[in-house]
Structure 1
Amino acid sequence: MSELVGLVALSHSPFATMMPPSEVDAPGAAFLAAAERVRRAVAARRPDAVVVIGPDHFHANFYDAMPPFVLGVEEAVGFGDFASREGPLPVAGELAWSVRDGLAGAGFDLSLSYSLTVDHGVVQSYDMVVGDVPMVPLVVNTAAPPLPSMPRCLELGEALGKVLRSAPFPGRVLVVASGGLSHWLPPNDPRDPTVVGERRVAMIHGRKDARAFAAAREPRVRAMAGDPNAPVNADWDRWFLKQLAAGDPAPIAALGDIGLETQAGSGGHEIRTWLIGAAAVGRPLVWTGYEAVPEWITGMGLGTTFPVD
């Protein structure tokens, strides 16, 4: 049976790959240095497969049919947005099917993909932490309804942990959660009265030409970079990390969607990936790192369930 070696959870940002810091004291440099320390700690644990839990940013999933959860079981392809890796990624197919079957048996009806496109929400953290270890990609909708509730994410994580511990996969499995922490994004709900025109059409019908949608969207995202006054709630981010270090995610889940968005912004919904990963591994974070990077529009956090030198 497989051995579950731990969790790495970390934030992602388009600007970490698109605009990396050029000096050691530049915004984001502390986060990237901490991520490199995490990478070395992961290498010492020699994972044979990695379950990567992350969001999609309208590069694969659109509102023609938006799944709360989608699992890749055969092929995964990096979209290549914001200087993240483009092209085929290795998939641990045997383990992926164990995850699918086990979660179905536990009452979770995940959408299934034999060829899953993943964007920087999965690929950036995967490359920072492990590189080319075969993955099982699990994409969680964090944009707008159908947002899976935070209690449901904890339940999914608990079931995932049981599945991974009992899977016949003969190797060591790492869980990586990618997302958050606090950041404020333009609204992504087609019901929002400010979401109009071509942007709304692209959210619903973007699958017809995802590349064209991305090409139109990326300049708008790039224009958000570099603002030292962009909103980041560092106090909330640190509280969130402390809750997971205490092994107590219940107060986080109790916030509900409105409470979470009030404290951490619309981008804060991505912490669902952390909740799933933490519940799967079932151990508190023993190491955390944090840098508020308003220039990247994000509170950049890291956490592991094993020591990091």
Structure 2
Amino acid sequence: MPNAQLTDNFGRPITYLRLAVTDRCNLRCFYCMPEEGINYLPKKELLTYEEMERLISVTSELGIKKVRITGGEPFVRRDMITFLEQLSKIPLLDELHVTTNGVFTAAYIEQLKAINISSVNLSLDTLDPDRFLAITRRDEFNKVMRTFNLLLEAGIPLKLNMVVMDGKNIEDILPMAELTRDLPVSVRFIEEMPFNGTGTYKALKWDHARILSTLKETYPDISKMEDPKNSTASHYKIPGASGNIGIIAAYTRTFCGSCNRIRVTSQGVLKTCLYDRGALDIKSLLRSSTSDEALKAELIRAINSRHKDGWAAEASRKDKKNHESMSTIGG
């Protein structure tokens, strides 16, 4: 199957894989999991580094060019930096990215720079230490800000992810946007999603339109930028700013028509959409005698049964209440 490529049943090429390496996290962000945490998977239920490296190597032969490592929090898993170093050597992989909460990341920044990491997405929902504690339920603000500053000093491309939450961090929208004025960062405002591990979700009050309207009140000259192909974010720029602003309609799902990404959860389940229940048990295939070519065939079959968009994927679920945690799915 040397020329086979991952293209879904709607003709969309799949070139981007988000891989969760663990469901464990050292924070307890209320929009991701309950305060008591979630029932973490036993280690044997997680994909091993060898299994994940094989998966990425195989999918790169099917056209995956970009991989993002997520969690949980990737750096709570031992030897994560060694795993990233191995991934950086896969010849057909063009981009390797990491999403992190930044608590443990500072110790690895020089090694990330050495492997030429494509970018780091840093989860940062507020610039206020007290609100940080309220949102994450952990007093780790100073460690995250140290990581932020060290990433900038190292010159590693940096994106800040802020989930916009009514009554929690609305005061931070403008201060976060202001960071882009003098710093070469991309600040991304993300709609809150229903993956908090509790099965409850309040109606979305801050959608992408309201976030943009709020920004325009302070920055009436904010300009729309050209979005990269397949981007989930709509990009904007304050006149003269060093960085840029992105708004991600993660719940409204306005970008589904050009979606080029798939996810693999920490337990080895392929999700062709964030909102589906899983399309393929990759872990079982990796732990059987399945050859690389047979694995490719199964991946192609799953991609060719993809839902048109996130709304269709959500409607297909038998469980209408969502009890998943974003930490389990992969951020």
Q: Which has the higher contact order (CA 8 A, sep 6+)?
A: 1
More helix as a share of residues: 1
Q: TM-score, normalised by structure 2?
A: 0.28
Q: TM-score, normalised by structure 1?
A: 0.29
Bigger Cα Rg: 2
